[in-house]
Structure 1
Amino acid sequence: MPRVLVIEDDEVTAREIVAELSVHGMTAEWVADGKEGLSRATAQGYDLITLDRMLPGMDGIEVVAGLRRQQIDTPVLMISALSDVDDRVRGLRAGGDDYLTKPFAPDEMAARAEVLLRRRQPQQNDTRLRVGDLELDLVRHVAYRKDQPLTLQPTEYRLLECLMRNSGQVLTRSMIFEAVWGFHFDPGTNVIDVHIGRLRRKIDGAGQSPLIRTVRGTGYMITSAPQNASAQP
């Protein structure tokens, strides 16, 4: 069971994070001070850290920078009430692995945590990604379904790579938008849905088992596993 250190000075937010992570099969410990958080993260082996940006004693940027100086590579999900792009960049440059702004949906936070944990798992040094009979050649930038090449536009390729690198994992629209387009998600845009639709028409052709699923109210995933009630083609 993954161990998560929650560094957050607001008790209500901290309890919300701990509760949501426990629902997703993680054990979370909470500290409310930046200096204590750094000390705990340094002395004990955690699989993930959620880190508030504004903390007493030592702020989140100082905490993550201190971890990286000590060669501690534990994934860090920074959580902040500051939503400007410059602060996000500072947090990621200091060593944060992802950045989530407050207020946030608990399932969005948990989804990001799961993705960071998945990235930490040992990866095979492979130049191809596979989901069922779908294959992505990372060197030639070519996709195949049942050994038949697919013609993808650059954005469609990046979108497919994002999904396949996290196969079996639900990705929220915000996570996809940041990974593929490189900036904050605009809830008023339908650009993700449009591109997913185009990708589906190329990937999930007539007579083929659908791989790209819509997870109602959350986002999308790609999987060859049997479909359940919450995921729809």
Structure 2
Amino acid sequence: MRAHAGERPLSSSGDGPDVLVVAGDPGDAELLATTLESAGYRVGAAGGAAEGMARLTTARFDLVVWDATLPDNKDLARGRRLVLDNRPPVLFLITCDYLHTLLPELGGGAEDYVTKPFRAAEILGRVEVLLRGRRTEPPSGMPRYGDLVLDEVTCRARRGARPLDLTPAEYRLLRHLLVNAGQVLSKEQISRHVWNDFRASEAIEKLVSRLRQKVDQEEPALIHTRRGFGYVFGRPGT
């Protein structure tokens, strides 16, 4: 893959997936590149939205890390949708002030986000989850509980024949609950897993409530509150 003038060429000490970093802040761009390269990814970079789109239309990448606060995002559907044939998964970087503009546009499986300032471990974790959705797994490997099934290839879920329209955070929470079925998970445990940091109780309660509304439309209910302790997943009495 050849780099255009002014672009950072792909570089890495490994042979991992190709990741394009689109970030205007030099400090963010350098931290992202160093973090990803140290994990074995091949990294290319663009300093703006227009430059990023140009690279995506002329070269193949396995994943994009895209700063949703770039000034020229407004010329590209405000940076919320990257409309390309066979476009790779996108990890958006965004500040809390802009988060409400991004969340309605996120789709399960192909997009996720982290808030700035971000941490290296969180970036690597989100990248791994998004790339995992591009890999092929046998259907027998799908996590399930009764009639609830998670498809880790597409990062989607269904209960019986009914698909669940989950946000990335809801999917991460549901998977965490399912793989720990029967165990009480505290709000702190849930917050650390879903967001990689601690959130207020109200934020966790709202997330659990939204997920419960989507999952527990049928009987039996699977998400239960243990007051003073946290939440537990599974059929009552199991």
Same fold (TM over 0.5): yes
Question: What is the rounded CA distance, in whole Å, between the counterparts of 1:98 and 1:122 in structure 2?
Answer: 20
1:75 equivalenced with 2:92 (yes/no) = no
Question: What is the rounded CA distance, in whole Å, between the counterparts of 1:61 and 1:162 in structure 2?
Answer: 37
| Matched letter for residue 137 of structure 1 | R
Question: What is the rounded CA distance, in whole Å, between the counterparts of 1:76 and 1:162 in structure 2?
Answer: 26
Contact conserved, 1:3 with 1:27, CA < 8 A, in 2? yes
Within 5 A, what are the aligned runs for 1:65-214?
65=81, 67-68=82-83, 70-83=84-97, 85-92=99-106, 97-126=111-140, 128-129=141-142, 136-137=143-144, 140-141=147-148, 158-161=175-178, 176-177=193-194, 186-189=198-201
Sort the Cα spacing of 1:61 and 1:15 in 2 relative to 1 into closer, same or farther, 3 A.
farther
1:40 equivalenced with 2:55 (yes/no) = yes
Sort the Cα spacing of 1:157 and 1:104 in 2 relative to 1 into closer, same or farther, 3 A.
closer
Contact conserved, 1:5 with 1:30, CA < 8 A, in 2? yes
Sort the Cα spacing of 1:9 and 1:122 in 2 relative to 1 into closer, same or farther, 3 A.
same
Question: What is the rounded CA distance, in whole Å, between the counterparts of 1:63 and 1:84 in structure 2?
Answer: 11
Question: What is the rounded CA distance, in whole Å, between the counterparts of 1:42 and 1:62 in structure 2?
Answer: 18
Q: List alignment gaps of at least 5 residues for structure 2.
A: 1-15, 150-172, 182-188, 209-228, 234-238
**TM-score w.r.t. structure 2 length?**
0.55
Identity of aligned residues (%): 25
Q: What is aligned with 1:57?
A: 72
Question: What is the rounded CA distance, in whole Å, between the counterparts of 2:39 and 2:52 in structure 1?
Answer: 22
Cα root mean square deviation, aligned: 3.8
Q: How many Å apart are 1:122 and its aligned residue?
A: 1.8
Secondary structure of the equivalent of 2:27?
A: helix
